């Protein structure tokens, strides 16, 4: 007995989605939730160096923007 193509595609898609969701559910290695972020330094637009440690105790929002072109 042959399984219809649509049923095979749905089964394959379901298996792939299961694998994807299982890989997302695993605990990532690295920094634990609630732990202090590691210190780092990045150059500012005006050339000076900015360190995360300079803002210790203050809320910090990091926004990484990819420039296209």
Can you list the pairs that 55-63 forms with residues at least 24 positions away whose Cβ atoms lie under 8 Å?
none
Q: Assess contact for 32 and 38: CB atoms under 8 A.
A: no
User: Token digits for 17?
Assistant: 């989605």
* 55 vs 69 pLDDT, higher one: 55
**Tens-digit pLDDT profile for residues 17-28:** 777 776 665 556
Phi, psi dihedral angles at 58 (to 5 degrees): -115, 150
Confidence band for 68, pLDDT divided at 50, 70 and 90: confident
Q: How many CA atoms lie within 13 A of 57 on its CB side?
A: 1
Domain boundaries, the chain: 5-55
């Amino acid at each position: 007995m042959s399984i219809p193509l649509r049923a095979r595609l749905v089964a394959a898609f379901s298996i792939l989605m299961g694998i994807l969701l299982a890989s997302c559910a695993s605990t990532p290695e690295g920094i634990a939730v609630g732990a202090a972020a590691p210190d780092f330094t990045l150059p500012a637009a005006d050339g000076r160096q900015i360190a995360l440690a300079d803002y210790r105790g203050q809320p910090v929002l990091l926004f990484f923007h990819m420039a296209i072109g």
